[in-house]
Amino acid sequence: MPLATGGEERRTNSRIRALLASSGEGLVVVGADGTICVMNETAETFLGVKRKDAVGSPVSVLGCDEISVLVEDVMSGTRRRIPVQMMVADRTMSCRAVGFSDDGETGCAVVLRDDTELVSQQERAEAILAGAGDGLIVFDPDSRVTYVNPAAVEMLGRPLKKAMGRHASLAEILGEAPPASDEAVPCWRLKECRREECPAYGQIDPRCWLKCGTPGPDGKPMRYSDKRAMCLLCEVYEANSRHLGEFGEGVAREVTISDPEHRVLEVRTNPVVSKSGKYLGCVTSLHDVTAEREIAIMKNEFVSMVSHELRTPLTSIKGYVDLIVDGEAGEINDVQKEFLQIVQENSDRLVSLINDLLDISRIESGRVHLKVEPLQMEEVLEGVVDTFRTYAEQSDVELTSHVARGLPRAAGDRDRVGQVLMNLVSNAIKYSPGGGSARVSARRVGNEVLVEVKDTGIGIEPDDVKQLFTKFFRVDSSLTREIGGTGLGLSICKSVIELHGGEIGVRSKPGKGSTFWFTIPVASADLVRTPEIEGPLEAGGGTVLVVDKDPEVADLIGTYLEKRGYEVLQAHSAVEAVQMAAKHQPTAITLDVMLDDMDGFDLLQRFKDDARTADIPVVVLSIVCDQGKSMRLGAANYLEKPIDSSRLVKVIDSLVGAVTSPVVLVVDDDRSIVDTMATTLRTKGFAVACAYDGREAIQAVEAQRPDLILLDLRMPVMDGYQVIQELKRREDTKDIPIVVMTAYHIDDDRIGILQMAAEQIDKPLSADDVVEQVERVLGGRG
């Protein structure tokens, strides 16, 4: 290939020679006869062959078999799209060859690039990835596996060579069920879109959220992060991501692998995005948490075992001391009573510490089940304030509460929200000096109820605020050391509120007091409280079977119940319990799940499977109560040891009363009327359920059919007319007698509905007259 001649042509050739000489890439041009026509200085340096010796000589003079083979292939018409990598001395070279036609003859241009530094960087990067403790799997934009590090191979227990370079879903690699990818439909087809300028248009790949350059609302191409944020709100992403087995970026999930060995892996996928915002692929990390999970299980088992060994003797200590202080074992003098009260206080304190440890264990293991219902926060706050009023007066702290007018009901577990409030109010009183104040308030903020507990106490340093809600952390001060505690209370509060979907925090200044606050969601319209039945004030009698392997604890429970007027039978094994329940048909059963000859939950299932005992209400009593499992198996209620005698008696009264006494459902939005009616009816020997609107009334009837309903007509949510219509149209509830209570003029167009009621009582009501009316309708039962 002779160079041009003539003045202008010589200048052009000089410029070309200068460009070739200064190029960072080596160039070798081979003519049709197989000899080298052109070779630049960079190629001379790369190959170590003088240009003067190479030009006019065959390619073999370069001493590189790879170049000779590459030139031969190109000259014969073979196309090589992928560069050939070769080693020349200590350099790593990348070699590409391109054919060309010169006057009808075929030539070849060979381009050489020094990739030594690039390869070195790649080797360093791969060495780093290979040395990582976590498993790493790299996918390109088309979901082809491009890299798997040794840690991932070791964790998964199998080679992944077959997955390299091909399309593979993460589920397939992890050995899970493959996603239903056939059900995924591309967005342009699903939406019948005709935006041909969109990169996802016409594509078979349904993962439109990975396509960059989609026109945004302003018409400009969108970056990956912006596109992704928009796609997360799209119904196409919601459907297709589920079918394709995508679990969201940065979201960790646990996967259990059993073959070839048991492992628990924490799997997390993150995108790889270029500086220009283009999606380059993703990296999935595998973190082995098997040991952590095994330790967590061992810890929970240890906590359960220790708490069992502590709670069992505490149940007897606390129970019998309470009985002695109450005078059940005879008169005691003032000195004896004072000493026993000290034992009482310290046993209560020990129970509280154990409860905190168990709460943390249950929350961490996911065994806390919330009983979410609509909460009247004014009642919850007043209940907590009443509980601490005496303690506040003794501490010379003024305790007040305030609830904003018109505050909607909150969605929460009454006991758990009360637990949080009691912890915060207790702290507010304890850490406020004499003469200070503590104020509990509640108001609505957006779709949440905000509760605040404000005190005038010692305050908290900013550094301590950051750690305040972590486990076992306690502010280091003379007052906190004097008061004592585990440092678990606020951590438990945080976990409980987060389980409700709320937040908790604190605002504080040293010496200026603190304001602890938390939020819980406003109750939705379809969330309805299920009213509980309360038994008569005077026990109606009945037989209770107490099942407990510890005779001393069984005697204690029996003493509580006999004092209330119940006849008590005892069983200390599962076999004995089955026989006695079938023979004596007790009115109720209390069941400890820690039995020697059978798991207590298996015994509960056996009770419910036996037609002779299926309808007997069972109250589960246990050291570590599994609320969810108890209720799923049909337990009527559950209580934890040490036993609260008043709570036990109330639960048994309600169950026995619901079985042996007529049940009256009182429905009125005026709580004072409901309370008055309920108390009077219970005094007369009735069991009572209380509802404050029509929907709660329907819920109560569905939970347990009452013998009679006292019903107000004017109520929110669902009025009395609607309740009558709903109940009378059902076959299973149409014969329940309904006594209407009203102070308003009856709607003329709804008189027909009232005729379905049994009786009508006008307000203002006399409680005794109402009871007389109820007894008459029920035929004197009571």
Q: What is the pLDDT of residue 3?
A: 46
Q: What is the pLDDT of residue 688?
A: 92
Condensed to tens digits (0 to 9), the pLDDT of residues 575-587 reads 999 999 999 999 9
Q: What is the pLDDT of residue 762?
A: 63
Distances in whole angstroms, Cα of residue 557 to Cα of each of 133, 624, 654: 55, 17, 17
Higher pLDDT, 176 or 647: 647
170 residue type, one letter: L
Which domains does the chain carry? 7-114 (3.30.450.20), 131-291 (3.30.450.20), 292-364 (1.10.287.130), 372-521 (3.30.565.10), 533-656 (3.40.50.2300), 661-777 (3.40.50.2300)
Residue 412 — very low, low, confident or very high, per pLDDT cuts 50/70/90? very high
What is the pTM (predicted TM-score) of this model?
0.62
Q: What is the pLDDT of residue 781?
A: 52
Residue 1 — very low, low, confident or very high, per pLDDT cuts 50/70/90? very low
Condensed to tens digits (0 to 9), the pLDDT of residues 119-137 reads 888 888 878 878 788 888 8
Beta carbons within 8 Å of 623's beta carbon, 6+ residues apart: 304, 307, 308, 311, 312, 594, 640, 641
Give the angle 608-612-617 at the CA atoms, nearest 5°. Answer: 50
Contact 50, 57 (CB under 8 A): no
Higher pLDDT, 685 or 79: 685
Q: What is the pLDDT of residue 500?
A: 93
Residue 458 — very low, low, confident or very high, per pLDDT cuts 50/70/90? confident
Task: Answer whether residue 481 shows pLDDT above 60.
Answer: no
Beta carbons within 8 Å of 226's beta carbon, 6+ residues apart: 216, 277
Highest mean pLDDT among 39-53, 122-136, 346-360: 39-53
DSSP label at 62? G
- What's the CA gap between 134 and 271, in Å, rounded? 17
Distances in whole angstroms, Cα of residue 680 to Cα of each of 67, 666, 697: 105, 12, 20
Task: Answer whether residue 253 shows pLDDT above 90.
Answer: no
Is the CA virtual torsion 195, 199, 202, 206 positive or negative? negative
Contact 711, 740 (CB under 8 A): yes
Mean pLDDT over 670-689 rounds to 90
Highest mean pLDDT among 1-15, 288-302, 404-418, 459-473: 404-418
Compute the mean pLDDT over every residue in the chain, rounded to the nearest whole number: 83
Mean pLDDT over 243-251 rounds to 59
Task: Answer whether residue 733 shows pLDDT above 50.
Answer: yes
Task: Answer whether residue 504 shows pLDDT above 90.
Answer: yes
